[in-house]
Amino acid sequence: MLHKYIIEREIPDVGIRPPEEYCGIAQTSKNVLAGLAPRVQWLETFVAHDKVYCVFLAESAEVIEEHARRTGFPANRIERVHGMIDPTYAPA
């Protein structure tokens, strides 16, 4: 069974890098994910100034750590998501 995880990666100045550089980062990640499938899937990534926040589906945090090791991208914090809250939870 796959669980949802949020990964915090500290990467200095990542938010001011040119978009072309993101293509290389994405390709590296996808290449490693292909070797780890079906145990892990990448859903999306949010880029901030010095950090990125990735959302993955994975069997365990250990698989995400393996992805980080193989890509060379840090996984400074890995948190399993236990639920979600959105505006529909608030009464009208």
Averaged pLDDT, 2-18: 96
Whether 43 contacts 56, CB under 8 Å: yes
How sure is the predictor about 85, in pLDDT bands with cuts at 50, 70 and 90? very high
Indicate whether 13 belongs to any domain: yes
- Note the pLDDT tens digit of each residue in 12-53: 999 999 989 999 999 999 999 999 999 999 999 999 999 999
Indicate whether 58 belongs to any domain: yes
Indicate whether 90 belongs to any domain: no
Domain count, the chain: 1
Instruction: Name the token pair of 12.
Output: 């200095």
Q: Which helix (H) or strand (E) holds 15?
A: none
Residue 46 belongs to what domain range?
3-84
How sure is the predictor about 92, in pLDDT bands with cuts at 50, 70 and 90? confident
User: Where residue 56 sits, what CATH number does that domain have?
Assistant: 3.30.70.3090
Averaged confidence pLDDT in the chain: 96
Indicate whether 39 belongs to any domain: yes
